Amino acid sequence: MADRFWLPTHVLFHYTSASFAAELADAAAEPYGAPLFVVGEGAQYGYGLYATDLDPFTTPREELVEACFAHAPPDHRALDGVLVLERDVTERGFAQMTEHIWLLPASPLEPVDLSRLLLGAGACADGQWKVREL
């Protein structure tokens, strides 16, 4: 697994659970699979898919938790999985909400097809991130 296979200015990271990251990676690997992210009902800046420009390899875990989950309930603070997303590939595109928070707008409970966005997925184990290119 490569540490970084992406260009830093063109990607965003969605932090999640390792199991969800693996589930989406598996769906992306299927010949007719579509990795779907279903938009939740809670929203600080609006509904949609949230991501950040904070790289897992260069940003301390505490900073990731603060930037991504400061306003989330404790049970939503999973931070052992990551999705690597192409920032500029969709028509509606990600909008920058704060210094490090980006949002791809979508309606509550809307499934967002990540087929064209998902570049990689990974997990953190024993303090080390392993991210694979998809």
> What would the pLDDT profile of 60-74 be if each residue is shown by its tens digit?
888 888 888 777 666
Q: What is the DSSP letter of 76?
A: G
For the record, the structure tokens of 72 come out as: 């989330």
Q: What is the DSSP letter of 8?
A: G
Spatial distance between the Cα atoms of 75 and 77, rounded to a whole number of angstroms: 6
pTM of the entire predicted model: 0.89
**pLDDT at position 6, please?**
63
Please, is 65 exposed, middle or buried when counting C-beta atoms within 10 Å of its C-beta (0-12, 13-18, 19+)? middle
> What would the pLDDT profile of 25-83 be if each residue is shown by its tens digit?
999 988 888 899 999 877 788 999 999 999 999 998 888 888 887 776 666 556 899 99
Please say whether the beta carbons of 81 and 16 come within 8 A.
Answer: yes
